[in-house]
Chains A and B, each alone.
Chain A
Amino acid sequence: MTDSSLHDPPRSAAELDERQPQGQWPPSEEMLAEPVPSDIQEASKERLRAAWKTPTGIRYLSAVNNSVIGKWYSLTAFGFMLAAGVLALLMRVQLAVPENDFLSSDRFNQFFTMHGSAMMFLFAVPMFEAISILLLPAMLGSRDMPFPRLSAYGYWCFLIGGVFVLGSVLFDAAPSSGWFMYPPLATEDEGVGSDIWLLGLSFIEIASIAAAVELIVGVIKCRPPGMRINLMPLYGWYVLVVGGMILFAFPPLIAGDLLFELERSLNWPFFDPERGGDPLLWQHLFWIFGHPEVYIIFLPSIAIASMVVPTAAGRPIVGYSWIVLSAVGTGFISFGLWVHHMFTTGLPAISLGFFSAASEAVVIPTGVQIFAFIATLMVGRVTVILPTLWIAGAVAIFTAGGLTGVMVALAPFDWQVHDTYFIVAHLHYTLFGGMVFPIIGGIYYFYPFITKKKMSERLGRWSFWVTFIGFNVCFLPMHLTGLLGMPRRVWTYPGDLGWDWLNMISTVGSFVIAAGILIFAWDLLRPKGRQTLTERNPWNAGTLEWSHDVPTEAWGARSVPFVTSRYPLWDQPEIVERMDAGRFYLGDAPEGRRETLITSAVDAIPQLVVRVTGPAWCTLVAAAFTGGAFILPTFGIYGPAIVCGVLAIATVIWWLWTATAIIPDKVMKDVGLGLTLPTYVSGPKAPGWWAIFITMLGDATAFAGLIFGVFFFWTARPDFPPDGAAHASAALTTTAGVLLAGTWLSTWFARGLHRAGHVTIARALLIAAPIMASGGAASLIGAVWFPGLQPATHAYPAMMCALVVWSVAHILCGAIMQGYCLARSLAGRMLPEFDADLWNTTLYWHFQGVSGIVTSLMIGLVPRVM
């Protein structure tokens, strides 16, 4: 991610000179000071308003703007949180007294499974995405997220998947093997519960990755001109880190899900020790996801705190680079902790030692973060506002959870408290302190920004104290309950072990928490129609989101500002006035299109003005069909599921065909302040290229998860591969490798030749490429088919076949992309100088070519060496 200067020398003769940004950069003070005539202001406002108008009536559902999607997203996640909270209360009723029979064992197991799954997958992670979609563009002075329709698609996937997974509780069909779904218990579970969990959540994981891709591109490419990486609001840093973490944490779980579902539906024995499998493989894949997940939840909330603390202290944050260190360091180290969830699985002590050490080391960046807040308070003059009360409560709770975390990170101590109520207490301290409290604080803080009304100070205090006291009454005693030996996930317990009174106290506390949350929910949702609008910047904050118009306008930033400070509203006194006047960039929408600026990754030099997609139904339709493709197989309905899958792909293709990489009417556009920017670029400057790059990083991680599986079996099982086992055909795997290399090179050459104007040769290559790709896929299938690898007999052939399944699906996807480019070229929608589709397809094949060749080696060569 390096930047070149504004005036790049063209890389090849074919790169047209006029496609470079031209004109004044950076803008001079005189240009900025020049007033905009009021009639022009009014006219451009009208045009912007028309372009960004949120659809009304039933068409409201087709909206894609970040402010609308963000609102739906966060309210849906909040609703799921309340539902999961109700499950917790019912469990607390069951545990209030010993030997209770309020809930049956099976019901209790369903409830705790769904409580954990919903809180993690339907509340904590989506809430981060929701809030970021809502706030990030405003903090970056940008109009919208780079891919609004992707946000909408992600939201609809989340809603459909969430309702499906959570709804299963009402039909007594919910998963009941715990949110961690350990096989063999979960793989051998007889109902549909495990399938609901797997398919429903895979679907939501995909939505999460989509959001992560969009947020990363948003932070890297959509910052306002001048906002160098050292001026970015800390929230942006956290989004960048968390997006990166999602990208590397979720895919191993998706790989695990694939293996799990293959075992469930086709009886391939990855986790069955009788047939060469190993239940521990799932635990590794799950926790490689599961531990970073904790930080994926925690970091965004601390990011909110890092926006509130400077406002409360009335001065810039102290130790900006320290906090960046903390975010990045935590992001890295959090991937070295996963085995601390497996300290009791009997791994060698020395291996446990590495993870114990990393688990202690991660405390350091987290501590830096907290002390940077305190340092800011030291240097500033603190005004106590309501959000700071919640943040202070969060720190109080989180530090307690962190300190017990230091204890359980010591492996021998964990051998005692692992899977007891001590851990239940610890994790709720970290999650309430590291997520719930900061988020509620953040809602009190940002509510005036979102609705232009204020929430009640009085209700806010009540809700804080009730929740805070209730929380400690509920969870503090649980430390002792656990030390007295009470394991987790027991639906009842005997009365003679000293656990009864502690549980009763916890149950009382849990209802007090519920009361506190209800007060908050009422304050959040009560109608505030008659209340007057707030002032524009009610907390006197310094960051760009508080420049938004009151009453609200759908365009986001009236004009995209030139930023020279971390706290522009404090340090650039005229900035709001100039934004309002449309003095800055993109103050008008002469073509009536939605547009936003793309800037360079590090120094935010303007590079491009892109058209942003508007309202559409295709996102909803695509999500519905995707939902069908994931949900129907749960009930064994495979035919319609395949139809849904095909229709989902078709809808996505239609959506891309009609709305992306459109050849613009004008190659260059005047964006204001004497700057002219290209309207179309392909390759590394284009946000779409970045989206593919980031997605493929995640995809490669999932593939790496499968490869990890092969080596895991090799170290863990003496019979991998079993003696005399049939291996994949060497000839066919070699053929596959060659064909895949061929299709990769054809695509790559096609891009170069196409750009140089040799359209016909490029088209011929694009015809040959998918044929070679299909041939490669067929060879891979043949390679395991002809020697007779029986995946249901042993984990070795199963693992080889899983690699083939993964690769074939990806190769076919790549072939569709090649065909798509060919069709675009034939339809005149892709020209040598407008070739983003071909760049993106080539990028896809860079990844897929490598992973296809690796697959060939993994099935053809590596087992013979093992």
Chain B
Amino acid sequence: MKIGIALALTVVLASCEGRQSVLSPAGRDAEVLANLFWWMLGGAVVLWLFVNGLMLYFSRIRRKRHSLRVAQWFIFMCGVVLPTTVLAGLLIFALREMPQQREPGEGLTLRVTGESWWWRVEYWPDGADEPVTTANEIRLPAGSRSEIELAANGVIHSFWIPALGGKTDMIPGRVNRMSLEPTAPGTYRGQCAEFCGLSHAHMALEAVVMAPEEFERWLGAEARDARAPEGAEAKRGKQLFLSQGCGGCHTVRGTPATARVGPDLTHLGGRKSLAAGMLPMDRQSLVGWLSAPESIKPGVNMPGYDHLPPADLQALAAYLEGLT
């Protein structure tokens, strides 16, 4: 019996791990909330056993009647005094915590815009005049609080990286704000949490928490124009990219492609995933995505290029993969 319970506990606790788990926090806010949850869970179990234990006890076990006066006191103590005290404590804790989780950031500002169904990401370091634009992946320095502005284009989305903190909605016509203070470097997963249509399930993002110096280096690299393609196949891929009209929607900085309809692809190959967290960043996924995006993301705006010969798709993929 004891071994069974221990085993079950281990299984449950082990299963709390995960890249998108509220219960394995990697940020200050998420940590506070995970602890709060464990405390509340403990309290809830005790109270549940108390209430249901009393029900069982009085209906099945104890057959002696109590007096009316005792019963009325019981209602008053358990129904009014006990909950008022417990709830006041919880409420005060939550009210004090709320402003802390919304503290303004300490330098870096990110602006994330929810699109159908991907994330436009702009970095505004302190004092910058223009942003560094990327998509579907956010990187944050560990150990400091970053300000995040949230907007939306079209419909409502919600920005959420469970390991770092709570979510905030992205609402067309409004600019919301939140802030996150990651503590542990690593790669975490976030996902859109507000129903946003056909591919709501396919709108994830990677959140990479880096040591501050490393983050600065990365941001410097990210601000540069795209690398020129290396090798014949990738070069041919770049020509195809431009001739097939990809630049009608996408930007690759340093090339004639400057449209802002779809995600910025300047450093696409350097990202950890493709298609807003759906596919690993490799040649095969790129080819699959280019030929039939609709099969991966129902309702997606990007047309499929399966009319291109396989060699062309390979070349395009080679070019994109090389955009690190």
What residues of chain A have their CB less than 8 Å away from a CB belonging to chain B? 104-106, 109, 177-178, 182, 184-185, 188, 273-274, 277-280, 312, 318-319, 322, 344-346, 349, 352-353, 356-357, 360-361, 363-364, 367-382, 384, 388, 392, 395-396, 399-400, 403-404, 406-407, 410-420, 480, 482-493, 497-498, 502
Contacts and interface: CB of A to CB of B under 8 A. Distances in A.
B135 to A, nearest CB: 19
Contacts of A489: 195, 200
Given A406-B44, A415-B165, A490-B201, A484 B87 contact: no
Given A318-B75, A371-B78, A363 B65 contact: no
Given A371-B74, A480-B15, A280 B90 contact: no
Contacts of A382: 58-60
Nearest to B86: A406
B18 A485 contact: yes
B195 A412 contact: no
Given A344-B194, A368-B80, A371-B79, 16 more contacts: A177-B197, A344-B158, A345-B176, A346-B177, A353-B98, A364-B80, A364-B84, A367-B82, A369-B79, A374-B54, A379-B71, A396-B52, A400-B48, A411-B98, A416-B162, A493-B201
A318 B33 contact: no
Given A349-B98, A356-B95, A182 B156 contact: yes
A367 B44 contact: no
B51 A370 contact: yes
B138 interface: no
Interface string B190-204: 011111111111000
A728 to B, nearest CB: 25
A404 B44 contact: yes
Interface in B55-91: 55-56, 58-60, 63, 65-68, 70-72, 74-75, 78-80, 82-84, 87, 90-91
A403 B75 contact: no
A631 to B, nearest CB: 26
B253 interface: no
B14 to A, nearest CB: 9
A411 B92 CA distance: 11
A364 B79 contact: yes
23 contacts: A105-B198, A105-B199, A182-B195, A278-B174, A279-B173, A344-B166, A346-B150, A346-B169, A349-B99, A349-B102, A364-B87, A367-B79, A371-B78, A376-B71, A379-B67, A380-B65, A392-B55, A399-B47, A404-B44, A410-B90, A416-B166, A480-B15, A484-B23
Interface residues on B, range: 35 or more
Contact of B167 (A344, A371, A484): A344
Nearest to A489: B195
Contacts of B195: 109, 177-178, 182, 185, 419, 488-489
Given A184-B154, A346-B174, A407-B37, A360 B91 contact: yes
B155 A319 contact: no
Contact of A273 (B40, B67, B173, B177): B173
Contacts of B258: none
Given A273-B173, A367-B83, A412-B98, A484 B55 contact: no
B26 to A, nearest CB: 13
B65 A379 contact: yes
B298 interface: yes
B16 interface: yes
Closest 5 A-B residue pairs measured CB to CB?
A273-B173, A415-B166, A485-B20, A346-B176, A490-B201
Given A371-B75, A396-B52, A483 B90 contact: no
Nearest to A178: B195
B94 interface: yes
B298 A105 contact: yes
Given A273-B174, A367-B79, A413 B98 contact: no
Contacts of B165: 415-416
Nearest to A374: B54
B171 interface: yes
Contact of B17 (A344, A388, A498): A498
A498 B83 CA distance: 35
A139 B158 CA distance: 49
A245 B47 CA distance: 30
Interface string B149-183: 01000111010101001111101111011100000
B320 interface: no
A483 B30 CA distance: 11
Nearest to B84: A364
B267 interface: no
Given A360-B87, A410-B94, A411-B94, A484 B15 contact: yes
Contacts of A374: 51, 54-55, 58, 74, 78
A392 B59 contact: yes
B68 A379 contact: yes
Interface in B1-35: 12, 15-23, 29-30, 32-33
A485 B22 contact: yes
A714 to B, nearest CB: 15
A575 to B, nearest CB: 25
Given A367-B78, A374-B51, A483 B65 contact: no
A418 B83 contact: no
Contacts of A104: 298
Contacts of B177: 346
A106 B192 CA distance: 18
B94 A356 contact: yes
Nearest to A382: B59
A280 B197 contact: no
Contacts of B87: 360-361, 363-364, 406
B71 A318 contact: yes
Contact of A346 (B16, B58, B171, B172): B171
B164 to A, nearest CB: 10
A412 B34 CA distance: 11
Nearest to B162: A485
B189 interface: yes
Contact of A403 (B19, B48, B156): B48
A185 B60 CA distance: 53
A375 B75 contact: yes
B216 interface: no
A419 B168 CA distance: 11
Contacts of B173: 273-274, 277-279
B21 A490 contact: no
Contacts of B93: 410
Given A399-B52, A419-B194, A485 B21 contact: yes
B83 A363 contact: yes
Nearest to A180: B195
B36 A415 contact: no
Contacts of A105: 198-199, 201, 298-299
Contacts of A380: 65
A109 to B, nearest CB: 7
Given A377-B59, A378-B58, A109 B198 contact: yes
B106 interface: no
A344 B91 contact: no
B230 interface: no
B172 A375 contact: no
A406 B40 contact: yes
Given A106-B198, A395-B51, A483-B37, A407 B166 contact: no
A482 B71 CA distance: 39
B19 A497 contact: yes
A105 B78 CA distance: 47
B225 interface: no
A376 to B, nearest CB: 8
B94 to A, nearest CB: 4
Nearest to B41: A407
B214 interface: no
